[in-house]
Structure 1
Amino acid sequence: MKLLCSIFLSLWMATAAFAGMSGHVFPSIDGGTLNTGDWAGQPVLVVNTASQCGFTGQYDGLQALYDTYRDQGLVVLAVPSDDFRQELGSAEEVKEFCELNFALDLPMTDITHVKGTKAHPFYRDVAEVTGFTPRWNFNKVLIGPEGDVIGTWGSATKPQSAKITGAIEALLQ
């Protein structure tokens, strides 16, 4: 019984910690919602994306990263945004574009604000905790299993870079 209580308490604390930084609900591009709290205990790479950006080819790297590490627990969350005026006109267009051109099957939100006064609460919290705000598309935020921000990277850092994979692998050990 004591072991069961200890396990429950550990899971509850991990969930509570994750909820403190990253228990955020996003509208899903597939309908419904995506609750980052459901991924408590797992690393989550959150990337603001755009379909008409010079960095859009990074979708291939994001999918490859997800394919490589998803069985070990990594979640890669794509957050399409038109804050930099490079996203398609609707979530349906974004979804179709990503499926046809990149065969994406990673979780994806609906088109979402990532900066400014309309920024999603996740991005406001990241900015408050770290000072990091996306300055362009394909900025990356790695959230650790306990809900803390492990690292942030700009557009030029490729998803499969040693910086990102090293941080992910350290969390998965």
Structure 2
Amino acid sequence: MAPAEKLRDSLSAQVTLLAELAAQSIEPELERQGLSFGMFELLSAVRAAGNVPQAEIARRLGIRPPSLTEAVRHAVEAGLIEQVDAPRDLRSKYLRLTPRANSLLKDIVVAMNDADAKMVEGIGATDLRLAVSVLHEASMNLARDLGVQTQRGGPEANRR
């Protein structure tokens, strides 16, 4: 098999393609809500992380804290995020979604669920369980290799 065919048929190539297509499928809803994909990622990370310092959100997103500061400033100005002083370290800030951001994310989750339904259309339950199991195991392998903590069954790996 030629190297290009190996890459095209690799698990990582298929995962990348699926991620790109899934992102494209929610773009219309993001545009309707007036959000960029980057802002959606920020809001999703804040929601998933819960009550953690802003630096932890930067780590989860795979960006440097100064880069996150600019994105947070835009989110605060848009009324999507509130910055709260950390209880034990007043130099540190926690991020909290506003009710408006929670409402926007609910609508986007509906679009994501629609995309998921289309994605698995025609795939039997046994094959779907196997695919999810394989992807989960592959995620765990990479997370372990990278020394990344996992949460909710999937890695919260930094992007490089």
TM-score range, shorter chain: 0.3 to 0.5
Which is bigger in relative contact order (C-alpha 8 A, separation at least 6)?
1
Normalization by structure 2: what TM-score?
0.33
Larger helix fraction of residues: 2
Structure label with greater radius of gyration: 2
Larger strand fraction of residues: 1
Normalization by structure 1: what TM-score?
0.32
